[in-house]
Amino acid sequence: MPLLVTRPLEEARALVGRLGAHALVAPCLAFEAVRSQRPDLPGADLLVASPRAVAPLLAIGLDPTWRVVALAPATVQALHAVGLPVHRAVEGGGAALAEAARPGPVICATSDLGGDEVLRVRGDAVVWVLYRTVCPPALPAEAQDVLAGVFDVLFTSPSAARNFEVLAPGALLRARRVLCNGATTLAEVRAMGREGESTTVR
């Protein structure tokens, strides 16, 4: 049974490689860099939750007085790969990053859809938007070919579910199974009029 994997392109490819021949790359999210001015906060803790933030950070440059707190292992590896420092690595998500920050100024380097978890823990954090989440222009031809038949679909974020409906109108309701990673994704799918199944994807 074909399984459409709606993660961003590189993540979808990696996951398809693990899932096997029945899985197909069907990215419903893409990213664009945002022109952004570096916050003037000497001595701040910079929280970096995603490898996607690394290229914009490299282009803009870090204040040398900042202490970088990053999610391990993928974000840490991406920062090290381009020569950017990591002063502390933590496991978990945005809340774990925020809890690892010192008292004082905190900057959350994120996307236009990120920062909520950090702000719930550290309401004084400055959200520094480095990239935006966008809908790709189309699904790959191989993914489009299966939409007329019987297929399953995997969503790992609410925005992927919304964009899937934009890219393939009506396909959400036609899917045999809708697998949802995370409670917010499941809630979004249900709000769109479709029952989903909880799953865990790493």
Same domain, 39 and 23: no
Range of the domain at 117: 33-132
In a domain, 18, yes or no: yes
CATH number of the domain to which 84 belongs: 3.40.50.10090
> What is the C-alpha separation between 126 and 91, in angstroms, rounded?
21
Which residue from 101, 95, 147 is spatially nearest to 119, judged by alpha carbons?
A: 95
pLDDT, position 10: 83
In a domain, 167, yes or no: no
Kind plus residue range of the DSSP H or E element containing 175: none
In a domain, 194, yes or no: no
Same domain, 89 and 104: yes
In this prediction the pTM is: 0.79
Same domain, 63 and 51: yes
pLDDT, position 41: 98
Number of domains in the chain: 2
> What is the C-alpha separation between 68 and 49, in angstroms, rounded?
11
Same domain, 23 and 55: no
Low-confidence ranges of the chain (pLDDT < 70): 202
